[in-house]
A = this chain, B = another copy of it.
């Protein structure tokens, strides 16, 4: 892969340097644009870049331009004559133009807008105004709309003449006399239909559309649910204002997933590629969460501090606290992850909370029994082979050292029993709570679960020692 890229790069560069337009054309005919763009990603010489655009035909140049990096796009726009810029832009789709100029300096934006033909400029301006992450912000305005009274023959004729400017000709949107969207026709339906049938007769009436203000995540879900390749975007009067195609949605899905994953790991977004994100920006994505979680830990500190004298008296208790806390954290994390994922895939709604908790209660009970039994055995093993120093355990003063160990192992394993149940119930409940108060369940649910579980399990642990195990052993605990 890496090697192919280098070979391709050498090939393109040598074609440019030898001024071999034939070779360059051949490259563009046989290799996808994005591969070429990636191979020359670090070429920033305006002359080399310009040569490509002067040689390669317009059927490639607009699409190829969209694949270049913002830096390269800026270099090219600056180097282009007005005439060249107009030619490039006339071949581009409005949404690609918006993507290009959105983060460019004002003088470039102005040059590009001036170069737009009048109708395209209107589209670009409108697209620039939709709020980020809405259907409006990702839609394109180049689509094919036809009246329901049109015949199949006329429709195919219209596609032949106007289709080249549309982002897709595979879905045709059908409107009635009042310009209301009433159906869709697939291009394949046109091919299969008789020439004199009307669009109104053959159209699908069970089509799905979205509103300009819908969240892009909901749009992506609809595409997935209904296996769509294109969807109409309508305004509040049910008039079509744009369309979204499946290739845009694939990008959105990836973006939304990255967001979810980032939030679960307590990172603020990961929208940019890692190596391209400036160091300070990376720091800012991470450090506030580290500090917030540290502050959240105040409760754990408070609990441990209250039992400091107990620890001083019998320090081996402190040896097992990380084991308990981590097991609780891992278990709660598993549950939270499952529930957050299911909620975000719309597998269930808030109303199913009862069902989920009932299920968790059964899962948690079984896990608790297994973990408690295992940990009892595992701790006995750790103490027997000396991984845990048993010197202080002898202080318990049972007849045999194994009886002493069994008391400690019992303390830890019964705490783990409680911890497993609490961690799963809390881990399953918090995402629902977040949803109830309209927060993104992925944010903070993990860390908060950990904190709650830490507190409950530490209290269980020390209270069980102070009030159950120690009295049984005749040990006087000073609190």
Which residues of A come within 8 Å of B, CB atoms? 1-2, 29-32, 34, 156, 159-160, 163-164, 169-170, 187-188, 191-192, 205-206, 208, 223-227, 229, 246-247, 249-251, 253-254, 257-258, 260-262, 264-267, 270, 273-275, 279-280, 282-283, 286-287, 289-291, 293-295, 297-298, 300-302, 304-306, 308-309, 311-312, 315-316, 318-323, 325-327, 329-331, 333-339, 341-342, 345, 347-349, 351-352, 355-356, 359, 362-363, 366-367, 370-371, 374-375, 378, 382, 387-389, 392, 420, 447, 450, 454
Determine whether the beta carbon of B160 is less than 8 Å from that of A290: no
Determine whether the beta carbon of B279 is less than 8 Å from that of A301: no
Neighbour of A160 across the interface among B191, B287, B295, B349, CB < 8 A: B191
- Given A224-B254, A267-B337, A287-B367: A191 touches B159 (CB 8 Å cut-off): yes
Copies in the complex: 2
Determine whether the beta carbon of A226 is less than 8 Å from that of B283: no
- Given A206-B32, A387-B301, A392-B308: A371 touches B287 (CB 8 Å cut-off): yes
Of all A-B residue pairs in the complex, the 10 with the closest CB atoms, nearest first, are A312-B315, A265-B337, A318-B318, A227-B247, A311-B315, A274-B342, A304-B319, A273-B347, A305-B388, A282-B363
Determine whether the beta carbon of B192 is less than 8 Å from that of A262: no
Residue in A187, A265, A321 with the greatest tally of chain B CB atoms within 10 Å? A265
Determine whether the beta carbon of A308 is less than 8 Å from that of B266: no
Determine whether the beta carbon of A206 is less than 8 Å from that of B31: yes
Pick 27 A–B contacts, CB within 8 A, sort by A: A29-B205, A29-B206, A30-B205, A163-B191, A163-B192, A170-B170, A187-B188, A229-B247, A254-B345, A258-B341, A260-B261, A261-B341, A262-B341, A265-B337, A266-B334, A275-B352, A275-B355, A286-B335, A291-B374, A294-B323, A294-B327, A301-B320, A301-B322, A305-B387, A305-B388, A322-B322, A322-B325
Q: A348's closest neighbor in chain B, by CB? A: B275
Neighbour of A290 across the interface among B262, B304, B330, B382, CB < 8 A: B330
Neighbour of A34 across the interface among B159, B226, B326, B334, CB < 8 A: B226
Neighbour of A389 across the interface among B227, B306, B325, CB < 8 A: B306
The docked-state distance in angstroms from the alpha carbon of A294 to that of B377 is: 12
Determine whether the beta carbon of A319 is less than 8 Å from that of B301: yes
- Given A191-B156, A297-B322, A311-B311: A290 touches B327 (CB 8 Å cut-off): yes
Neighbour of A266 across the interface among B205, B251, B320, B333, CB < 8 A: B333
The docked-state distance in angstroms from the alpha carbon of A444 to that of B7 is: 36
- Given A2-B349, A191-B159, A297-B322: A334 touches B265 (CB 8 Å cut-off): yes
- Given A30-B205, A337-B267: A163 touches B187 (CB 8 Å cut-off): no
Q: Which residues of the other chain, B, contact A273 by a CB distance below 8 angstroms?
A: 342, 345, 347
The docked-state distance in angstroms from the alpha carbon of A34 to that of B135 is: 23
Q: Which residues of the other chain, B, contact A192 by a CB distance below 8 angstroms?
A: 160, 163-164
The docked-state distance in angstroms from the alpha carbon of A19 to that of B335 is: 45
Determine whether the beta carbon of A283 is less than 8 Å from that of B315: no
Q: Which residues of the other chain, B, contact A315 by a CB distance below 8 angstroms?
A: 308-309, 311-312, 315, 318
Q: Which residues of the other chain, B, contact A253 by a CB distance below 8 angstroms?
A: 250, 253-254
Neighbour of A287 across the interface among B280, B320, B370, CB < 8 A: B370
The docked-state distance in angstroms from the alpha carbon of A417 to that of B183 is: 62
Q: Which residues of the other chain, B, contact A347 by a CB distance below 8 angstroms?
A: 273-275
Q: Which residues of the other chain, B, contact A188 by a CB distance below 8 angstroms?
A: 159, 163, 169-170, 187
The docked-state distance in angstroms from the alpha carbon of A264 to that of B266 is: 13
Q: Which residues of the other chain, B, contact A356 by a CB distance below 8 angstroms?
A: 274-275
Determine whether the beta carbon of A293 is less than 8 Å from that of B226: no
User: How distant is A206 from chain B, measured CB to nearest CB, in Å?
Assistant: 5
The docked-state distance in angstroms from the alpha carbon of A387 to that of B270 is: 36
User: How distant is A445 from chain B, measured CB to nearest CB, in Å?
Assistant: 12
The docked-state distance in angstroms from the alpha carbon of A346 to that of B329 is: 30
Determine whether the beta carbon of A378 is less than 8 Å from that of B295: yes
Q: A281's closest neighbor in chain B, by CB? A: B363
- Given A32-B206, A330-B290, A337-B267: A367 touches B283 (CB 8 Å cut-off): yes
Determine whether the beta carbon of B258 is less than 8 Å from that of A261: no
User: How distant is A243 from chain B, measured CB to nearest CB, in Å?
Assistant: 15
Q: Which residues of the other chain, B, contact A286 by a CB distance below 8 angstroms?
A: 331, 334-335, 363, 367
The docked-state distance in angstroms from the alpha carbon of A335 to that of B262 is: 10
Determine whether the beta carbon of A32 is less than 8 Å from that of B327: no
Determine whether the beta carbon of B382 is less than 8 Å from that of A298: yes
The docked-state distance in angstroms from the alpha carbon of A206 to that of B229 is: 22
Q: Which residues of the other chain, B, contact A331 by a CB distance below 8 angstroms?
A: 286, 290
